[in-house]
Structure 1
Amino acid sequence: MEIRLGDNQYGKAETRLVRVDRHPDRHEVTDLNVSTALAGDLAATHLTGDNAGVLPTDTQKNTVYAFARDGIGAIEAFAARLARHFVDTTPTIHRARVRIEQYSWERVAHHSFIRNSGTRTTTVTYDGAAVTVVSGVDDLVVMNTTGSEFHGFHKDRYTTLAETDDRILATAVRADWRHMTAEGTDWNDSHREATSHLVDAFADTHSLSLQQTLHAMGERVLRHREELAEVRLSLPNKHHFPVDLSAFELDNPGEVFFAADRPYGLIEGSVVRDGAPEPGLAWW
């Protein structure tokens, strides 16, 4: 029987980084969680324990902090700088993937901040030739208190769910969108506008299913942002069930709900621009 080493990578996960830019009139905070993953000619360390080609994960962590000293800017650009550095300076490393989560803080005074909802994300992959940039948002919690229905679904002997023409629709959006190119993009503007279109589509769509809403959200982003090739969404259905108050001789005209945290429906899918280039590197 022949046994061989399969695909492998290694890196430093979740390096926490906070940078404070101290301007005379205000402070600005950049709060990041950075994960790096490197792949290449690494068979020796797996098979014989020869670490000559291994860039230590501690070095990867230190590089993140050192690069932050020069400024961070848009997280897509920062991730690309790191990915290129690891591949271009380490002979055994042929691919670097850098994922960054950015936690948003709103300044409420000169040096005082409050944490915002929603986490900005990016995953940048570089193989020495091509760069793939994916931007996104995670844990963006949204809710429509009406304008959502769910009926006409397939039923079998185990179906107990009642059809409804009026329900609460809530979800915590995870969305990732792939850029056509890694060059010439205003990352901050692109992210701000893409996120805004996601939220607008959620609010504007009279939903007959969360799947329909998913498609409407992805389509809205692609129609308004020509630099994007594909949007992938993961939408957990945050169920809200009307509470039966009849035992207390009370009615409930759609006002009192139980917010269930689990189990939950999980709706996932992608919306793709026709003719858009396929990703040269895996990104999902």
Structure 2
Amino acid sequence: MTIRLGPNRYGKAECRLVTVVRDGPRHELTDLNVSTRLAGRLDATHLTGDNADVLPTDTQKNTVYAFARDGFAGIEEFGLRLARHFVTGPIDRAQVHVEAYGWRRLGGHTFARAGDEVRSATLTATAGQAWAVGGLHGLTLLNTTGSMFKGFPRDQYTTLPEADDRILATAVDARWRFATLDVDWNAAFAAIREGLVGAFTDTYSRSLQQTLYAMGERVLERVPEVAEVRLALPNRHHFLVDLSPFGLDNPDAVYVAADRPYGLIEGTVLRDDAPLPGLAWDLGAA
């Protein structure tokens, strides 16, 4: 029997970081969660405990804070700069995952947390190339009409009635891969988010799958720098409450919002001519 070391990596997870730009009376606030993952020639530390090639995770944390000192043009630019910095010596692959939490401005230097929506970016660098994956999760959307679900197959276990009109709700989990690093990151994110929301709003939905495709298609139409979009859309079910035991009708007014179980619709929308990165792109957090 042969035993060997398989793929491995290490890093510093969830470095919480808040920056404040104080130029002028309107301060700019950025609230981040940054994680690093490094991989390379690290056999010795696993097999013999020799740490000569192991950059301490504490050093990685300190680098994150130091690189934030002079600001950044966007979370993608910040993560890319960090990832490229870590690719040196025995480290041949570095990945930086950044989550940005939204704050709503109330005044020149006063803010309120903007809910559960989180912007993300995963930046990966090797000695020869780099690529960027953007993301957004926790964007909760709901249409009170303009959605149906009918014409599906039925068998002895089917109890779901066909719906000519229903509430359609989801919490968007989106990832998109950029085909280039020559991007105005913040403008691209704004256009992507607008495309996702706009397609959800505009599409008369006969299935959540149809809506998923429309959302991905809208992003690719609006943002040429994006090569592909991956979406996971949970179906946040809303069921009419039976009020007949109380002698009342329910004219599509009262619903129960069920949190589980739920349908989960996932899919990828991509350009046929989109260049692929040298290594499969990673959707997961660092």
The answer to whether the superposition gives a TM-score over 0.5 is: yes
Quote how far apart the aligned CAs of 1:4 are. 1.4
One-letter code of the match for 2:158? T
Which residue in the other structure is 1:254 paired with? Answer: 252
Which residue in the other structure is 2:171 paired with? Answer: 172
One-letter code of the match for 2:132? V
Which residue in the other structure is 1:17 paired with? Answer: 17
Matched, 1:263 2:261: yes
One-letter code of the match for 1:238? R
One-letter code of the match for 2:169? A
Alignment of 1:65-104 (within 5 A): 65-88=65-88, 91-104=89-102
Matched, 1:240 2:209: no
Quote how far apart the aligned CAs of 1:44 are. 1.1
Q: Tell me, which stretches of 5 or more residues in structure 2 are unaligned?
A: none
One-letter code of the match for 1:150? F
Which residue in the other structure is 2:129 paired with? Answer: 130
Matched, 1:6 2:6: yes
Alignment of 1:189-208 (within 5 A): 189-208=187-206
Quote how far apart the aligned CAs of 1:197 are. 0.5
SS at structure 2 position matched to 1:26: coil
* Residues 132 and 281, structure 1, Cα contact 8 Å, conserved in 2: no
Quote how far apart the aligned CAs of 1:115 are. 1.8
* Residues 242 and 258, structure 1, Cα contact 8 Å, conserved in 2: yes
Quote how far apart the aligned CAs of 1:279 are. 2.4
SS at structure 1 position matched to 2:186: helix
> TM-score under structure 1 normalisation?
0.96
CA distance in structure 1 between the aligned counterparts of 2:159 and 2:49, rounded to whole angstroms: 57
Which residue in the other structure is 2:152 paired with? Answer: 153
SS at structure 1 position matched to 2:150: coil
Instruction: After superposition, give the CA deviation of every residue in 1:96-142 in whole Å (9 maximum; x if it has no partner).
Output: 01110101112111211122242111111001111111112111111
Which residue in the other structure is 2:45 paired with? Answer: 45
Which residue in the other structure is 2:217 paired with? Answer: 219
Identity in percent:
63
Paired residues, number? 281
SS at structure 2 position matched to 1:62: helix
One-letter code of the match for 2:49? G
CA distance in structure 1 between the aligned counterparts of 2:35 and 2:260, rounded to whole angstroms: 29
Moved over 6 A (4+): none
Instruction: After superposition, give the CA deviation of every residue in 1:28-61 in whole Å (9 maximum; x if it has no partner).
Output: 1000011111100011111111111111111111
Quote how far apart the aligned CAs of 1:156 are. 2.2
> TM-score under structure 2 normalisation?
0.96
Instruction: After superposition, give the CA deviation of every residue in 1:144-194 in whole Å (9 maximum; x if it has no partner).
Output: 011111111122222211111111111110111111111x21001111001
Matched, 1:54 2:54: yes
Q: Tell me, which stretches of 5 or more residues in structure 1 are unaligned?
A: none
SS at structure 2 position matched to 1:151: coil
CA distance in structure 2 between the aligned counterparts of 1:169 and 1:50, rounded to whole angstroms: 56
* Residues 132 and 280, structure 1, Cα contact 8 Å, conserved in 2: no
Quote how far apart the aligned CAs of 1:228 are. 1.0
SS at structure 1 position matched to 2:260: coil
SS at structure 1 position matched to 2:27: strand
CA distance in structure 1 between the aligned counterparts of 2:220 and 2:232, rounded to whole angstroms: 17
One-letter code of the match for 1:144? N
Quote how far apart the aligned CAs of 1:73 are. 2.6
One-letter code of the match for 2:167? I
SS at structure 2 position matched to 1:153: coil
Quote how far apart the aligned CAs of 1:85 are. 0.6
